[in-house]
Amino acid sequence: MSDTLVTPLQWATPAAWVDAVATDRIALLSDHAHCELKAAASAQALIAKNTKRPELIKELLKIAHEELEHFGRVVSIIEARGGCLAPVSGNRYAGELLRRGVSGRSPHLLDRLLVAALIEARSLERFRLLADHLEDEELSALYADLLTSEASHRAFFLDAAKKNFSEEEVSSELERFAAVEAEVIRELPFDHLVHSGPPPEG
């Protein structure tokens, strides 16, 4: 499947990540469910911080609904497989990305929009790998089905950045944050998580 949208990612996850993560599918699904829940919570937090931007609120509300719907779908699959949603993991990916990206100052709207766009872009990349390489009909269908929605979220956060900030600022900050994202994801250890580090070699 080809990606017709331009990805801002500066490091490509190897396909071997799928084989490694597929060894504990309930753990992967559980982390995935928490990612959806956190995406809904982040959209709501952005609404609360931007009460004077009605257009942004409308779109964020739509995203929050979609992420909660994804959460419900993933939890249903976990339960149908005899598992249950694990407690939230301490994955450092999103927190590290924002912390290193802003390096000491308070995050502002552009930081949050670009971080959200990069998280969506990385999720989308991993969902596409899972859709294409996972030998599990139900899960590869789930990931294939989520691609359109997550691609539209990535596009929304990038467009929102462009609508609210100058083109020069968005492109230089996006490049800077994308470099931080590539550094963070490559440094993380491998685990059965959507945003884990590179697969073990060999």
Give residues in contact with Fe ion (CB under 5 A). 36, 39, 67, 70, 150, 153
Rounded-to-integer distance, Cα 129 and Cα 122, Å = 11
Question: Could you tell me which of 139, 122, 120 has the C-alpha nearest to residue 198?
Answer: 122
Q: Yes or no: say if 163 and 169 are a contact pair by the CB < 8 Å rule.
A: no
User: Can you give the C-alpha Rg of the chain in angstroms?
Assistant: 16
The distance of closest approach from Cβ of residue 146 to Fe ion in the complex, given in angstroms and rounded to an integer, is 6
Q: How far is the CB of 41 from Fe ion (least distance, A)?
A: 12
Contact 117, 161 (CB under 8 A): yes
Q: Quick one: 9 or 103, whose CB is closer to Fe ion?
A: 9
- CB-wise, 25 or 153, nearer to Fe ion? 153
SS3 label, residue 199: coil
Closer residue to Fe ion, CB minimum distance, 39 or 161: 39
Identify the helix (H) or strand (E) that includes residue 110: helix 109-133
User: Shortest gap between Cβ of 154 and Fe ion (angstroms)?
Assistant: 8
Helix, strand, coil shares of the chain as percentages rounded to 5?
70, 0, 30
Least distance in angstroms from the C-beta of 88 to Fe ion: 16
Looking at the Cβ atoms of 122 and 153, the one nearer to Fe ion is: 153
Neighbouring C-beta atoms of residue 10, cutoff 10 Å: 16
Please identify, using beta-carbon distances, which residue of 70 and 195 lies nearer to Fe ion: 70
Nearer to Fe ion, 124 or 134 (CB): 124
Q: How far is residue 135's CA from residue 19's CA, in Å, rounded to a whole number? A: 9
Closest distance between Fe ion and the C-beta of residue 111, in Å? 18
Residue 104 CB, shortest distance to Fe ion, in Å, is: 28
**Which runs of E-coded beta strand occur in the chain?**
none
